[in-house]
Amino acid sequence: MKIGFIGTGVMGHAIIVNLMNAGHELFVYNRTKSKTDDLVANGATWKDTPKEIAAASEIIFTMVGYPQDVEQVYYDESTGIFASDVKDKILVDLTTSTPSLAEKINQTANDKGAASLDAPVSGGDLGAQNATLTIMVGGEQTVYNKVMPLFEKMGKTYTLHGTAGKGQHTKMANQIMIAGTMTGMTEMLVYADKAGLSLQKVMDTLAGGGAANWSMTNYGPRILKDDYSPGFFVKHFIKDLKIALDEAKKMSLDLPSTQLATQLYEKLADQGNENDGTQALIKLWWKERTNS
């Protein structure tokens, strides 16, 4: 199948490799062209604009950073996906973005005889590399059925949650949960460290009990190695938490724990750590770790 892919960062690059390994023909575009060099060396075809990607492909995936990037990639009047004839094509946005933008893209796609899905993912850089992502989808069942064979090459769990935008809402539910597991893991490590415990032993023990969770299993070991590389960027988590709080506000919901997590991550970013991975939250407490 001819697949277009826009956004070849941490997540997009790894997903493209899996799609190419499954035998698909890939057309790629990224703001910084050099991030596609190895993909092109391995058989992908570079296109100069999202518009050209759309013209060359049957299904177009986007995996960019922020909602404004999604807006630009789809709607730029001269270079965007919708500047191309998209009739009968399927557009799938994997970016974590706003439910309202997903609805808008769906409306435009339908107006132009195309179809769209919002399909944000969870599972991190390793999930993308190992094709074990969880994919949360909004859109029409018939469109979902057509894209499912490709979701199978990217992830282990994929679920249609309803009409356009519902995939993004599900991702917000996911991020609200992650806000709790990241702050919980961080405070747990800070406490265990001060109490003079072996952090490795504590994590091994907790992983077998009621406190077991994905954040600790995946990011705890990175913290113990002082590895704060992304993974999942602090700046993107702040973006997600702000979308979640905005959506909650629209539903007249107060989410104080998510608000506090947002403030903590904003403080971390203000200290110059916005391009670290989210496990860097512990830097708010640790200048130097005392135990290991």
Contact string (CB under 6 A) for ligand NAP, positions 117-136, x = contact: ----xx-xx-----------
Options 3, 4, 7, 179; binder of ligand NAP; rule CB under 6 A? 7
**CA distances for 146 relative to 27, 107, 143, angstroms:** 19, 19, 5
| Beta-ladder partners of 160 | 137
> Contact at 8 Å (CB) between 165 and 103?
yes
31 binding ligand NAP? (CB under 6 A): yes
Contact string (CB under 6 A) for ligand NAP, positions 212-241, x = contact: -------------------xxx--x---x-
Site for ligand NAP in 64-83 (CB under 6 A): 64-65, 69, 72-73
143 binding ligand NAP? (CB under 6 A): no
Contacts 24+ apart (CB under 8 A), 98-103: 98/67, 98/168, 98/243, 98/246, 98/247, 99/138, 99/165, 99/166, 99/168, 99/169, 99/172, 99/247, 100/165, 101/67, 101/70, 101/71, 102/138, 102/164, 102/165, 102/167, 102/168, 103/164, 103/165
275 binding ligand NAP? (CB under 6 A): no
The window from 29-37, 106-114, 140-148, 200-208 that contacts ligand NAP (CB under 6 A) reads 29-37
Length, in residues, of the chain: 292
Site for ligand NAP in 37-66 (CB under 6 A): 63-65
- Is-catalytic flag, 171? yes
Q: Which is nearer to ligand NAP, 8 or 186 (CB)?
A: 8
Cα-Cα end-to-end distance for the chain:
49
Q: How many residues bind ligand NAP (CB under 6 A)?
A: 28
The window from 26-34, 39-47, 210-218, 265-273 that contacts ligand NAP (CB under 6 A) reads 26-34
Q: How far is the CB of 78 from ligand NAP (least distance, A)?
A: 13
Beta strand ranges found along the chain (DSSP E): 2-6, 25-29, 45-46, 59-62, 90-93, 115-118, 121-122, 133-137, 155-160
Options 8, 106, 134, 273; binder of ligand NAP; rule CB under 6 A? 8
Q: Residue 183: what are its φ and ψ, rounded to 5°?
A: -70, -35
Binding site for ligand NAP (CB under 6 A): 6-12, 30-32, 35, 63-65, 69, 72-73, 95-96, 121-122, 124-125, 231-233, 236, 240
What are the residue numbers of the active site? 171
